Structure 1
Amino acid sequence: MYAASRGVVWKLERAHDFHEPDVPSWRAMMDGDWDLSMRLMAEMCEPLRQLYAAPPEFRRLRVVDTPITPYLQWEINGLAMRVAAGEQIRALPAAAVRDLETTAPLPELVVFTTSLCYEVRYDGIGGHTGARRVTDPDAIGPALNALIGLYGRAEDLIAYHEREVSAGAPRLCGAQSGGTLSGRPRARRARTTRSRPARTSSPTARAGRSRRTRSPRGPCRGWRSAPVLRRTVTFVIETYVASVCQG
């Protein structure tokens, strides 16, 4: 779909934490290994360079807020790499869209034409779950015009990266990753073994266990948008998979 497009493909990105366990660089960042994360990210550059060498042009507007989350710092580094590969990206402060968010955050959008757009969907921890296909020009046209207007007011991503991200220490993902939110990873503590209480087979205990769910790794939060299977828009929905390289 992306390769068959002509003109400009637009992407609006608003949320500040996503859950991307399929991405090696993301996993390294979550594990507290910033250097490895950056090396893995660099490996994504050449495939992207080849992709962007041919039409269509891809323009992304990244809404940014403060304080910068660990995920956003990681992603901004990735976006700087994408700019070097040929993607057109600008950053816009969240304050510039507050008047558009009186009822909900702006949606995550990928716009191919004035008659084809995808509103990307994420779950409660920022995991990608699909997208809703929109084909109504009366709905897409005003949204695209607004996106183009916001893009025109935004700052070049490289300038934002150099001022807000590249000079700072990596913001790693806390105790779960063995890192700190303001510096290099801490030395990992030696694991200790705790004895677990014996399992009980009482009906009450079994019912309690069945209601439990695992907590997601890392400080990931999502936003609600609305419902197409992930693979239909793998690249533009930005899974950061190295084979496409990746949202």
Structure 2
Amino acid sequence: MPELRAPALKPEWGCRLDREAYRRDFRERDARIRGRDSWKLERLQYFEEQNSPSRDALRRGDWEGALRLLEERRGTLEAIGREDEERGSHFHRVRVVERPLTGYLQWELHSLRMRAECGERVRIVPAEDLADGLDPLPEVVVLGGRTLYHVQYTPTGVPDGAVRHVDPELVGAWEEFIGSLYRLGEDVASWFAREVAPLAPPGAETE
């Protein structure tokens, strides 16, 4: 991988938002975007998704049920994709993956493939391809070129709000960095077909 350097990102530079404030702030700012793309960088290998019946099925080891419940969200994702097209705003996601895949990540990649089929632009970057000294990377969303959220999680992977940054220089630097990773990544469809589709279903999660 060509030499890349992640911009600095310090919590004291931004405004800490709890989970509900982050969700509200994100929705309000996202609704105003016209003609600008957004970018997301995901690095953690395990999240505790909240209020997701499909995620709950995965915990129980009900793989068929988890995939069926994911598929039930397709209509909603297609509507989001159409709205993004009308606004001239596309959502790009870079997903860093470690191998062997966790059961969670195997499930998430099914979700990301479907998101891509509905209009989201998703690329995969294997962790082993990251340059020495680049990792670990934070969880970051750059929304419409104006707002950066450093997304926070508890040690067990539960969403815990975000730190919001609005400094144009910082936002622009992270947008450029995530864009560089995106261009170096592989489209989720081809990566999924090779690395995920042949895998056996994961088992139930244990404490």
The bucket for the TM-score relative to the shorter chain is: 0.7 to 0.9
Q: Aligned equivalents of 2:163 and 2:42: distance in 1?
A: 15
Separation in 2, partners of 1:170, 1:12: 26
The number of residues matched between the two structures is: 174
Q: Provide closer, same or farther for how the CA distance between residues 33 and 131 of structure 1 changes in structure 2, counting only shifts above 3 A.
A: same
Are 1:28 and 2:61 matched, yes or no?
no
| Corresponding residue number in structure 2 for 1:47 | 76
Cα drift, residue 115 of structure 1: 3.1
- Listed as ranges, the matches of 1:104-119 within 5 Å are 105-119=136-150
Q: 2:203 aligns with which of 125, 150, 172?
A: 172
Q: Please tell me whether the aligned partners of residues 12 and 60 of structure 1 are also in contact (alpha carbons under 8 angstroms).
A: yes
Structure 2 distance, partners of 1:113, 1:4, is 9
Closer, same or farther in 2 for the Cα pair 1:50/1:100, shift >3 Å? farther
Matched to 1:61, the amino acid is V
Contact conserved, 2:30 with 2:144, CA < 8 A, in 1? no
Q: Tell me how far apart the structure 1 counterparts of residues 38 and 145 of structure 2 sit (CA, whole Å).
A: 10
Residue 166 (structure 2) aligned to one of 135, 138, 160: 135
Deviation track 1:53-93 (CA, whole Å, cap 9, x = no partner) reads 02221110111111100100000000011111111100011
The amino acid that maps onto 1:148 is G
8 Å CA contact 2:142–2:174 kept in 1: the answer is no
Regions of 4+ moved over 6 Å: none
Q: Map 1:229-244 onto structure 2 (within 5 A).
A: none
Whichever residue aligns with residue 136 of structure 1, its letter is: D
Distance 1:77 1:112 in 2: 24
C-alpha distance in 2, partners of 1:31/1:48? 25
Shift of 1:100: 4.5
Instruction: Establish whether residue 4 from structure 1 lines up as the match of residue 32 from structure 2.
Output: yes
Letter in 2 for 1:121: Q
Distance 1:63 1:11 in 2: 11
Q: Which residue of 2 aligns with 1:93?
A: 126
2: CA distance, partners of 1:113 / 1:134 = 13
Question: 5+ unaligned residues in a row in structure 1: which ranges?
Answer: 177-216, 218-247
Shift of 1:173: 3.4
Measured in 2, the distance between the counterparts of 1:161 and 1:101 equals 25
RMSD value, Cα: 1.4
TM superposition score normalised by structure 2: 0.80
* 1:99 CA displacement: 2.8
- The structural deviation recorded for 1:166 is 1.1
Contact 1:100 1:106 in 2 (8 A): no
Larger Rg: 1
Instruction: Give 2:54's aligned amino acid.
Output: S
Structure number with the bigger relative contact order (C-alpha 8 A, sep ≥ 6) is: 2
Over residues 118-152 of structure 1, what are the superposed CA-to-partner deviations in whole Å (9 max), with x where a residue is unaligned? 11000010000100100112222222111111110
| 1:75 counterpart (108, 115, 119) | 108
Separation in structure 2 between the aligned mates of residue 108 and residue 3 of structure 1, nearest angstrom: 22
The answer to whether the Cα contact below 8 Å between 2:139 and 2:150 also exists between their aligned partners in 1 is: yes
Q: What residue in structure 2 maps to residue 157 of structure 1? A: 188
Higher fraction of helix: 2
Unpaired segments ≥5 residues, structure 2: 1-28
Q: Provide the C-alpha distance between the structure 2 equivalents of 1:120 and 1:100, rounded to a whole number of angstroms.
A: 21
- Alpha-carbon distance in structure 2 between the residues aligned to 1:151 and 1:127: 26
Q: Is the alpha carbon distance of 1:48 and 1:100 closer, same or farther for their aligned partners in structure 2, counting shifts above 3 Å?
A: farther
Percent of aligned positions that are identical? 37
TM-score of the two chains, using structure 1 as the length reference: 0.67
